Structure 1
Amino acid sequence: LNMSRQLATFARRMGDFEQLIIAIATNDFKRVNVLLRTAIKNGASINTITAQIIEAAQGIRSTKGFTKFEHDLSLLIYRIGGHSLLYSLNHALGLPSLRTINNAANFVKITPTFGPISAAEICANIQNVILKPRTLAGKTGKHGIVIMMDECAVEERCDYFPSANKIGGLCQKHSGGIPLTLQTYKSAMTIVNALHEGTVHFAKEMLVVAVRFGNEENIYPILVAPTCKMETAEDTVALYEMIISAWDDVARETCGVIRNFATDGDPNRRRAGYLLFCQEELPTSHPLYEILSNLKGLNLCTGKDLILQTIDWRHEIKRDSQLLGNCTLVRQPSGMTVDGRIINPFFLGETLNLLPDQDEKSVHRLLNPNDAQNVPTALGLVDAIIQLHDLKPPSSNVELATTLDSTRLLGYLFENFSHPFITPEASLSDQIQMLSTYAHLAFVLFREFRTDFMSNQLYGDTQTTAKNIVFSVAKQQLLDPNVKVNANEDGTDPVESHFGFMRMAGSHNSAMSYKQGVERNGWACDIQGVYSRWPQLHQESRRRRITRTSHKDHLNTSKWIADLLAGRCDLIDCWCLGEAEAIRILKLFSKLSPEKYDFHAILATSGVDFLRPWGNNIYPGLAADPDRSV
């Protein structure tokens, strides 16, 4: 009898489950998973769940509650596709509506700049963009802070900001004496007359200053200012000091100290960096001095709190708005003088043709690219020159055989500067050793051949990059040796990614006014926040993948396979190994006499280091002569 009852109960339950499956299969119902999750949580029976599914399909019952993923997905759809697309998907798939995400999300809003830049707006953005969101997310740890700066183009026109009742889009440098608040018709005419007289200008670009925490991928804009590109180095120094002061007042105690300022090689920012961040020698009492003082040739001058400036290494290899890299120098008719030999397109064209994987057409593309700013092409030329290491010239070409050593020397120079940033198999120790080799080689060649070898500005920029990376490793070893440090992360690439998100938010339309730029900066923060929480949603740019060498300019730490822990890098040992490698290369491929690369004797002279190759506190990077790498 009991067995019969159990079988009947089992058969009835099986029938209930079949009815549930049929109800799910035959009803076109959005978000059935939410209904099931809620019903199970409330202890509902199978029959009750089946009835609720049927009611939901008939529109009698609506499901409530959304997951964090659904909120973020709706936010992403709204920022990239707009309100209309979100409305359609809300009704088609049951995703959260705009009203729902407005109630649940904290949208990033940037405080715009009206008139000259002020500390108040920087502090307001630090509070709204960094402190509040990170506190809500539970990110309260201290980090080494990197301040990144770059510009993007904006349409030259004014905008009205209703919330402030002010006019925006006028250059911040010259709009200080003009009332930007629209109180009367006369206020508007004052602005119009100033524009006609040329005392104020429409902004040509939008300056974005952003904060990055350690090796985090996200950045946080703290200043979005319109600029006419007429600022001086002294203006930039004042801006740097204002940013440092605002950060120290608002965020230093909770977020950490500023480690460096990263730029793209802009001449004014370069000069400001020398003026502000090479003021004083590292104190002998500082814990870093014990290590860094043993790295002979390393410039030990820093700014307040050991803040340094760094230049994006990508801009030292490719042509950018202000700076051309090494590849452009060898493409010029004047070329680069290495060991007394002028290496220019004519010589390289003959030499590179001898490589097995090159022909006349491919060499012509490398030496005469359609886009001089194309990084993959620049890296392709670098790789081709590096391959000349192992080239055996025809025995009949005696002249080529005698001059090939200069090209090999150039190849080693390029290899030791580029490979630390684009080789995922390079450990942190390998990176420091290669940068040390580059610093020693460039020091010798620049002292000997001066600007015939490399422009003053480019030499200073590359040595500044190497110096900053060494300092960053040493600082991290003191702060926390179990944290990764990657030379590849040095620079402003995250800001360029941020600009990409801004274009995504504008339907991939790069044209925008200043007002739209301010809005899109906040939208870009929302987009990058969603992608950081749900990386599977982000379709990585093809140029950022590492399946081909042409994408190596956009690697990041997540793609690295070698050991990058700061505590496992012996800076003194790596620096000395780099010096030894430089001496080996110079002995093999240079005609210079040994005293030219007697580093012990040369660097024993007071005030001589890699940033000041002739001492007397003279920095080539501050030279006013034309930069022929531009």
Structure 2
Amino acid sequence: MMLIAQGKVKRVDSLVRVALKNGAGIQGICQKLSEAAGKLTSTKSFTEDDMKLAYLVWKMGGPRLVNIVARALGGPSVSTVRRHMGSKGLQASVAFPTSDEMRHNLKISLGKDSGEVGALTEAPTVTVGYVLAVDEIAVEKRMRWDPERNMIIGLCREHGHKRSLEFNTMDEADEILKCLVSGEMHLSSEASVLAVSGLGDSPKEGVARPIVLSGTCKRETVPNQTRLLRLTADTLKEELKSVNGRLYVIATDGDARRRRALIPLTLSHDLQEGSPLYSMLGPLPLFNRRMGVDECTVDFDQKHLFKRARSALLSAKGITINGVKLTKDVIKAHLKSEGMPETTARILLAPEDKQDVPVALRLLSAIARLPDAKPESPPLFRLARKCLRYLGHLYRHLLEAHTNLKLTLREQLAHLSAAAHLLLAGYTAFKGDLCPSQFYFDQQSTIKTAYFCVAKVKRDNPKGQLHLMRIGTDALEKLFGIYRTMIGNDTNVDTYQLASRATGAVNCTRILEEKPDWDPGTRRLQMKSSIVESTEDDSVAAEKSDHINPKAWEGDVHVEHANLQTHWIQGRATAEEEL
């Protein structure tokens, strides 16, 4: 016992487990402990958790750190981890992505041809909905040779077809160089990442799994982007059949070109009366029932929409409601009148960083908490406050639906309905003075998709659950976060390196989803209320709201308890009352 207390015996649990397995008694176990303390013996028996932890250390800290941990704490070495948990690498697209490249990446991402970590080798007994998320990440402008395929990687997909990229002699390299000098071809400045994630209950299903890793020079036309998205969606639909999956949503940010490219894929058909979804969505008044092939819809990710709502408030144009122009100075005056410190108001209204989600949540929630103006206030002040109260109602419903951990799915849907009706009424009256048409379209489409997804889960898995936070690009953003941890926040890699590290990032994300206690950034959040009603420091509440995960949600999200028509009408009644 003294040896153990002094820390001279590494991995006592493993040593005792092996000794018991070999039939040792108390004396035998004590003998083994003494030998281990004198470094005369060691155990090489590792649990699955030991391997997963070592894998995280390997991918995030490098092979040298794994071996340091192995010697210091008795964990597995990098060679052991590589042998037990190694996996094949994903392929970056040489030029325009092909279906063969997509199928190759899907087989690896879904783990069909290996027993690698995170594999979805067994099809669920019920149909699981999937989200195809699209986003870009910056890469170094650099060409690389892929020895596995003997191809040159790093050129943009828009113009990569103009020369042969198979590397047989220096003639191919010389021709590519001439095209680069003339501007006929370009090196990739960004990589488009298309990844699939599931809406099921299993942590494995919620991880983003890359399908396409394709370099771009940002000169792609809308028809070509539609072609890429259509090819990816069609290939994905075929491959998902083997895991009993079905594509529900294509999710993206607010990129203007991609928005137009998605219209043929997500707004080409009306929901037909013969569809099982029609009985749930058909009776909803004013509900947009346009969709794509196989009832696919589009989502623009609510976190991006929160950031864009803040950007509209900070713009030079501001927001005009009923002839009242709400600028940064006007908003600051109203926030300060309710006790907000000057420094806090200045931070929330600073235009420098428009990508900060917690700051966006803090500003929108502060507006949502504004009360009616006092009767003795000046008339113009009361009029501006009335307009801000309208915005506050809109923001409150959106924030409650996505940050209040105690809400049931029924309450979330009612809040989303109220937000949709408030936004409809405001945009009908004030058009672009209230918000850009793109924001209106994106926000309404995102709310519509939430209703569509609930209906689809009720059809495919009536006893299942649906976490609305999984609809969007959040899973892909988590993958990017792990990827940045692996390479560093102040550096980029080229397209070939991106593909070689992507598999490790997927596996790390999956492990952390299964082991939330290992990562304080994704631990169970102790939020006592939503950010709108929070009584703690709003900066702390905003940070927590930005890291909400399905394990943290406390409300009942079983779809069998949700009635779409009832919640849609409830939200409409709430909006009418607030208007």
Shift of 1:306: 0.5
TM-score (norm 2): 0.90
* Kept in 2: contact 1:140–1:254 (CA 8 A): yes
* Kept in 1: contact 2:454–2:559 (CA 8 A): yes
Match of residue 216, structure 2, among 227, 238, 242: 227
1:249-288 aligned at under 5 Å gives the runs 249-288=238-277
Measured in 1, the distance between the counterparts of 2:105 and 2:315 equals 44
Task: Tell me if 1:71 matches 2:69.
Answer: no
* Kept in 2: contact 1:79–1:505 (CA 8 A): yes
State the Cα deviation string for residues 148-183 of structure 1 (Å, max 9, x = none).
Answer: 111111111112222222221111121112222221
Change (3 A) 1:187 1:293: same
Partner of 1:574: 567
Bigger radius of gyration: 1
Task: Tell me if 1:291 matches 2:291.
Answer: no
* Kept in 2: contact 1:337–1:452 (CA 8 A): yes
Partner of 1:487: 468
Change (3 A) 1:199 1:361: same
* Kept in 2: contact 1:79–1:523 (CA 8 A): yes
1:183-202 aligned at under 5 Å gives the runs 183-202=168-187
Match of residue 228, structure 2, among 236, 239, 261: 239
Change (3 A) 1:376 1:27: closer
Shift of 1:483: 2.1
Partner of 1:520: 501
Partner of 1:336: 319
* Kept in 2: contact 1:424–1:560 (CA 8 A): yes
State the Cα deviation string for residues 298-338 of structure 1 (Å, max 9, x = none).
Answer: 111111110111101111121xxxxxx22222222322222
Measured in 2, the distance between the counterparts of 1:207 and 1:426 equals 35
* Kept in 1: contact 2:522–2:548 (CA 8 A): no
Identity of aligned residues (%): 29
Task: Tell me if 1:91 matches 2:71.
Answer: yes
Task: Tell me if 1:366 matches 2:348.
Answer: yes
Amino acid across the alignment from 1:379: L
State the Cα deviation string for residues 439-461 of structure 1 (Å, max 9, x = none).
Answer: 11221221222212211111100
Change (3 A) 1:59 1:202: same
1:383-532 aligned at under 5 Å gives the runs 383-388=365-370, 390-393=371-374, 395=376, 397-532=378-513
Moved more, 461-470 or 500-509: 500-509
Measured in 1, the distance between the counterparts of 2:398 and 2:25 equals 68
Number of aligned residue pairs: 558
Moved more, 73-82 or 39-48: 39-48
State the Cα deviation string for residues 77-110 of structure 1 (Å, max 9, x = none).
Answer: 1111111111222223222122222221142521
Shift of 1:244: 2.1
Match of residue 542, structure 2, among 550, 555, 560: 550
1:45-84 aligned at under 5 Å gives the runs 45-57=25-37, 61-84=41-64
Partner of 2:531: none
Shift of 1:297: 1.0
Measured in 1, the distance between the counterparts of 2:388 and 2:225 equals 39
Match of residue 96, structure 2, among 95, 113, 116: 116
Q: Secondary structure at the match of 2:521?
A: coil
Measured in 2, the distance between the counterparts of 1:59 and 1:488 equals 50
Change (3 A) 1:64 1:185: same
Measured in 1, the distance between the counterparts of 2:347 and 2:5 equals 59
* Kept in 1: contact 2:525–2:552 (CA 8 A): no
Q: Secondary structure at the match of 2:401?
A: helix
Measured in 1, the distance between the counterparts of 2:248 and 2:298 equals 9
Task: Tell me if 1:380 matches 2:369.
Answer: no
Measured in 1, the distance between the counterparts of 2:574 and 2:132 equals 34
Amino acid across the alignment from 1:581: T
Amino acid across the alignment from 2:249: N
Measured in 1, the distance between the counterparts of 2:239 and 2:471 equals 25
Measured in 2, the distance between the counterparts of 1:105 and 1:177 equals 40
Unaligned runs of 5+ in 1: 1-20, 319-324, 587-630
* Kept in 1: contact 2:397–2:415 (CA 8 A): yes
Partner of 2:530: none
Shift of 1:545: 7.5
Change (3 A) 1:57 1:386: closer
Shift of 1:53: 4.2
Measured in 2, the distance between the counterparts of 1:35 and 1:540 equals 32
Amino acid across the alignment from 1:386: A
Q: Secondary structure at the match of 1:505?
A: helix
Change (3 A) 1:382 1:50: closer
Partner of 1:614: none
Partner of 2:578: 585
Amino acid across the alignment from 1:200: M
Amino acid across the alignment from 1:155: E
Q: Secondary structure at the match of 1:251?
A: helix
* Kept in 2: contact 1:393–1:400 (CA 8 A): no
TM-score (norm 1): 0.83
Shift of 1:530: 2.4
Change (3 A) 1:49 1:131: closer
State the Cα deviation string for residues 108-128 of structure 1 (Å, max 9, x = none).
Answer: 521221111101000111111
Measured in 2, the distance between the counterparts of 1:556 and 1:572 equals 27
Measured in 2, the distance between the counterparts of 1:399 and 1:50 equals 83
Shift of 1:25: 6.7
Measured in 2, the distance between the counterparts of 1:79 and 1:376 equals 28
Amino acid across the alignment from 1:302: M
Q: Secondary structure at the match of 2:556?
A: coil
Shift of 1:537: 1.7
* Kept in 2: contact 1:353–1:363 (CA 8 A): yes
Moved more, 119-128 or 243-252: 243-252
